[in-house]
Structure 1
């Protein structure tokens, strides 16, 4: 499957992009395992005459459409990994990989950006610079963006744009927001070591289950009693593991969970407070406690100028533009924004179920308009930067 030339026919292009999305949906791959996915993307790009950069990536692909050689560089990005979810939505292109599914719509993102790449290839002669086209692995682990950055994929890029589908919004709706859009996402593990004993003689041991229950209760007070009500933050303990029979108090208990915050100072403060809670409670009982902290992506923080620009281009492409509320979900697009300015938008896809649901679906009519939008966004961003740079040289 693939185009030998970039087609000007909208029906042909839409049909091809739907085929791309369905092909990826039927053969999903988990984070950092997107080997076949990467091969497919490379083939689709090269069949359309789009250059693929030789960069040190295990998975993921970076393409490039070069226009004016001395012009600026902008980037558009899609993520390509799937989730460890068994698909329940029945279709002719249902996942053929047991326990793996594109339940977050990254197959949609990939088809959209491939479509934008085709359209930009058609406009190559008029581009005022270069468009870097990033197909990023491992977004779901929170660190795939770092592999793109480490590969040099962001070198010389002056602005970057990304998308996520929104199944709870209708096709034709585009959501934007200046500033903080997603939460900073961190994962924690807590190891509690007490002293095992017979369940009938608890005084002879140090019960890590009782300690764990106190820690869990006290962690909720970090949010409800130690964090300003105006500051949005969440601590969720999502796993408890300890003990293996009814009449023995175990020696250890393991806890796991996540913290979601919107400000870096609050993020660091909560980590320190969790450490304090663990230390205080375990020492009170004469036990030992260990916190293992896995820092994930920070908040997506949309640049006001580029957000307004992205909103304007959306309106000229016929989208109904709405301002969205921040979400406590995470997105490693934020790592790019720590280095360069950019904007991240939500595209309505009229789904019946939310993201990460085993029956997640979307309306494929959203693909082609989004491809045109991202092609226009990249082209007009080049024009904007080129004009600004020219003005600086002339002044």
Structure 2
């Protein structure tokens, strides 16, 4: 475990914060707020940060909150980030502190991330005389709609930052464990919208119409073929059409149809090529079915790639804090995270914090599930690890 003893006080201090962090997280969980609506959450966070003696800025990038802690001596500037928004999901967790707002739920654990970063801010404030440099705390809004990080960056939250770190809870990894990965950890996120126009008419007389539903169906299948036939099997890509809208009743061929979906990949080069590919395939297939197609392609977030040196730093810190047996290599996932936008601009590392039950203990529900739950023992551990990551860089 090497220098484990150096971080033992932080670990013990984190445990002393456990009930405070649990209480704060449960309050956020009861009153979740959707992306760009996190005003109450932001106010609670700002109050806690001011109580620690920080200068606090609110309304950054929507409802983002930024605070900075200065150590006793000059040095590097390390940023730590958490996201705060909830999802439009009806909660079915059965928790006594379940959401009181119908159709809104912290089903991704951003309430936990917020509590964890507040815990790290508390631990570092107690040790600021030992720090050479500064820590900037970023509480971000609107991660779920891939807007918050971009807006925060536009308002200068990375100005002067040397490195940035963040974590995400993972309910399929047991609480007490951490997963890290060199290179690509999470996929890019693009959004596609395809509007098709045909010629409406009676469902019993299709020869007098131009059916945009049939064209839309062919485009869905054509896009899947593009993945398997035009892209190397060594470059994972997912094309998912999540919405196909057309018509209002059973016996009418509609005049229009629309498709909305997402594209994910681990390759920046593949991501850059997908707009042309989708536009070409949708347009040509629509033409074959005598329809017209208009494609709107939006690149939302890039592939999340951590800096190798920062990953090594996190690995050392984790292993020195909780032991190498509690760190595992993370499997890549095509789920996206707008933390990737920070990593495009400054070196940093994003890692997984286990929040699930011990293997075989009980059923675990994944991120974005209406029965999503976390093991709250991950809160003080996450706070201690984020604090240690920053403190170790500011020795």
Q: Which residue of 2 aligns with 1:3?
A: none
CA shift digits 1:278-301 (9 cap, x unpaired) = 111222233210111122111110
- What is the aligned length? 376
Q: Which residue of 1 aligns with 2:344?
A: 338
1:101 partnered with 2:94: no
Q: Which residue of 2 aligns with 1:366?
A: 378
Q: Which residue of 2 aligns with 1:390?
A: none
CA shift digits 1:96-125 (9 cap, x unpaired) = 111111100011111111000001001111
Partner Cα distance (1:342, 1:109) in 2? 17
Report the RMSD for the aligned CA atoms in angstroms.
1.5
Alignment map for 1:18-29 (pairs within 5 Å): 18-29=22-33
Distance 1:316 1:12, change over 3 A: closer
1:210 partnered with 2:236: no
1:31: Cα distance to partner?
0.4
1:113 partnered with 2:125: no
Q: Which residue of 2 aligns with 1:233?
A: 237
Q: Which residue of 1 aligns with 2:247?
A: 243
1:92: Cα distance to partner?
2.4
Distance 1:28 1:55, change over 3 A: closer
Partner Cα distance (2:15, 2:342) in 1? 34
CA shift digits 1:268-323 (9 cap, x unpaired) = 22221111111112222332101111221111101111101101100111151111
TM-score, structure 1 normalization: 0.92
Q: Is the CA contact (8 Å cut-off) linking 2:73 and 2:131 kept in structure 1?
A: no
Per the alignment, in what secondary structure is the counterpart of residue 81 of structure 2?
Answer: strand
Q: Is the CA contact (8 Å cut-off) linking 1:55 and 1:152 kept in structure 2?
A: no
CA shift digits 1:153-211 (9 cap, x unpaired) = 11100000000001011111100001100000111111110111222222222111111
Partner Cα distance (1:224, 1:57) in 2? 39
Partner Cα distance (1:77, 1:108) in 2? 12
Q: Which has the higher strand share?
A: 2
Q: Is the CA contact (8 Å cut-off) linking 2:15 and 2:381 kept in structure 1?
A: no
Alignment map for 1:262-273 (pairs within 5 Å): 262-273=266-277
Gaps of 5+ in 1: 1-7, 384-395
Alignment map for 1:55-74 (pairs within 5 Å): 56-68=60-72, 70-74=74-78
Alignment map for 1:123-272 (pairs within 5 Å): 123-272=127-276
Distance 1:9 1:207, change over 3 A: closer
Partner Cα distance (2:60, 2:247) in 1? 45
Q: Which residue of 2 aligns with 1:321?
A: 327
1:62: Cα distance to partner?
0.7
1:9: Cα distance to partner?
5.9
Alignment map for 1:342-353 (pairs within 5 Å): 342-351=348-357, 352-353=364-365
Partner Cα distance (2:236, 2:331) in 1? 12
